[in-house]
Amino acid sequence: MSGLNPRQKEAVLHRGGPLLILAGAGTGKTRTIAYRIARLVERGVPSESVLAVAFTNKSAGELR
């Protein structure tokens, strides 16, 4: 997580259930979501239980 800023780290480490990440273009949303998903899976959440929504083909490809 060394490449994340404090707000992104806060989102990745959030433990209160579902989380909406909303920010402008080029702010690292996709990276933050990818790290969050990895963290959830590391903590034992089955990957098939995780839903991530991307609004661009580029972001969807990166999450895949």
CA separation for the pair 43, 5 (Å, rounded): 22
Enter the pTM of the model: 0.85
The Cα angle at residue 20 between residues 61 and 35, in degrees rounded to 5: 50
Which residues are CB-neighbours of 28 under 8 A, at least 6 positions away?
A: 4, 5, 8
Residue 45: pLDDT over 90 = yes
The answer to whether the beta carbons of residues 32 and 11 sit under 8 Å apart is yes
- Residue 53 pLDDT > 90: no
